[in-house]
Structure 1
């Protein structure tokens, strides 16, 4: 298998510098910032104080700075929140999207500087935040749609399109299995609800890939079982989509706007035995 890559047009880049950058982020994000190295990145989320989703992102290291790969539409509000929490911390926060491109790569292995293994799942390949004009070396470009189909088949959420701001819960969207939460770090924004959801087994719905027979429903379309609403369609392409589904409806006959849906549980996903 050769190495393929594509530029991700829906991503922005924030740079965080300053001697307090690690401590500053550690108290705000769901993962352990100390796992970020020159060769390894992390996947994490920023939550409301009540533990509800605001945005997700990847964090990589560039010299003495941190680079955050984040949904472009979510970036302005996230940057504003960071500036609000900055207080007296010695950090500088800048939108550097005009200076960098964000890439996904998959297939053969690569050791290129600035390219790191996707921390969510080995099958997802690599992420990269590279200066403008620099591409993934020894790799063939493919359309964004090629990566998008692979992402959806693997069941990987794109928070900007597959999760609902101030409503979604991390563990309903795979953040535990996909290494987006660290259970041993200190306190962070929204930790209490996230921990309670895990240890009290309060998960009643999950984000699933679904195969579609019929026309691809638009994002936001309700999924029904008989006359009951049991879920919602999110991002989709060709005959696949990601959908939030109630666990007790997985064996039902499901439809959305006339299309028949069949959930496909990813190998990495861990469900309660009752589901």
Structure 2
């Protein structure tokens, strides 16, 4: 493993700071600095960007982002044991790394960041999906971020990019693809991590669209999609019957067949149905 900076290997950092990964925090550390640098490169040219990183742990990806030229990295870390290791990185990259200790679900990072902003993170498994949904459903669009480069369990990554007709297709695919371009850019085996998780992982890159792909009221679209996929084995006329007394007519008006099931319906048709229900 070649060095990407003058700092010691991550295995030594973990040993010196006694940073055993904690399952309760969803931690799985990625120690290969070549891999973390490769993930950082998936975020694109960072030289004119501030980068938000969630759950940096001992700082492997943090170092990759800084080595790749990020203007600034804001690292949110809940585990106080990791702060000294991150402070060592901050000293090696003066003025370019800010560390906030706390829960990413409770901290508003925007006061610490200047546009353009990108998000890059090996997300803790236990909060990854919730954070993604928050970033995809802000009150206003476009969002604060230009792109998200995020590592998930492979199964979650496949749900984000899934197409109609597949078992992975569901609410997460609709939310992601309505407002962004989403693609899997890397796959990582369990053995790349310490400790190795039981599943493979993948990095997803999402680029924010200036406007949603199809017009629709966000709240209505979210309601329709949630109801449809909560009962995905039911026909739409049954799963959505509480939305309108004439739901079959509304489905037909939106270009749908009342006997369709949710996994057969494209994003465009879901948006059409949301518009019909708002009319």
- The structure having more radius of gyration, on CA atoms, is 2
- TM-score normalised to structure 1 length: 0.32
Larger relative helix fraction:
2
Which structure has the highest strand share of the two? 1
Report the TM-score when normalising by structure 2: 0.31
